[in-house]
């Protein structure tokens, strides 16, 4: 997908593919071929986490060389990181949790964002602030599909990208829920394949992950 994402909502991020790869880049030289493999496999939304010194340069490299990718930044924790990520070319932002200061910065960034939640009170607080699209993290540890299914009744207006402990065996159950747009995960990026530069294998795993839309049934 090459068209710009609207700035008012994170919903397009949730709808790009059933899985958002959560990428940790240690070597910037891996960023572009890795992104190309993911896009070729059908996963255009790529979350590069700010867990390594190479993260911002990786975002910058992907944004510049792989225009068909929708590259975003994950593990965003501070307003300063919001500014740095957008300047590097991030087209969406993801945080594991949120504060009012961080939420204000993300809202003012001009790009879609997914603030992290793990409790009902956090979901209600974001809805009160006009945010309807959220990251559910850490998904498995925070109650998994049973928890999200319980939220769908009283809070149907909230939509989620669950991330944390999800793999190809559990993703379809998440994707079958009416309040889940996509899931985040890294199983299509095995460390040995990245180290070896086996981009063909990563593309194959990405293609299998993209096919989970059919397995999930209701992922929009």
Residues identified as active-site: 47, 135
CA 72 to chain centre: 8
The closest alpha carbon to 182, from 17, 57, 6, belongs to 17
Determine the length of the chain. 220
- Strand order in 183-185's β-sheet? 113-114, 93-94, 70-74, 45-49, 19-23, 183-185
138: preceding bond cis by omega (within 30 degrees): yes
Whether residue 21 contacts residue 42, with contact meaning beta carbons closer than 8 Å, is answered with: no
CA distance linking residue 217 with residue 114, whole number of Å:
23
Beta bridge pairs of residue 22: 47
Classify residue 170 by burial, with Cβ atoms within 10 Å: 0-12, 13-18, 19+.
middle
CA distance linking residue 107 with residue 92, whole number of Å:
11
Residue 193 CB contacts under 8 Å (≥ 6 apart), including other chains: 199, 201, 202, 205
């Amino acid at each position: 997908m090459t068209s710009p994402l609207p700035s008012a909502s994170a919903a397009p991020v949730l709808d790009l593919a059933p899985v958002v790869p959560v990428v940790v880049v240690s070597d910037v030289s891996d960023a572009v071929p890795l992104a190309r493999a993911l896009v070729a496999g059908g996963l255009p939304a790529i979350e590069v986490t700010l867990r390594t010194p190479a993260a911002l340069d990786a975002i910058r490299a992907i944004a510049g060389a792989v225009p068909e990718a929708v590259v975003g930044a994950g593990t965003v924790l501070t307003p300063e990181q919001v500014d740095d990520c957008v300047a590097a070319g991030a087209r969406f932002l993801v945080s594991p949790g949120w504060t009012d200061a961080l939420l204000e910065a993300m809202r003012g960034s001009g790009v879609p964002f997914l603030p992290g939640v793990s409790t009902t009170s956090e979901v209600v607080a974001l809805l009160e602030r006009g945010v309807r699209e959220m990251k559910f993290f850490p998904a498995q540890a925070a109650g998994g599909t049973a928890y999200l299914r319980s939220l769908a009744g009283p809070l149907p207006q909230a939509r989620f990208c669950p991330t944390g402990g999800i793999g190809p065996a559990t993703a379809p159950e998440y994707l079958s829920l009416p309040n889940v747009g996509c899931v985040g995960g890294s199983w299509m990026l095995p460390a040995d394949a990245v180290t070896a530069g086996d981009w063909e294998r990563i593309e194959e795993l990405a293609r299998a992950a993209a096919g989970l839309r059919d397995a999930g049934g209701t992922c929009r």
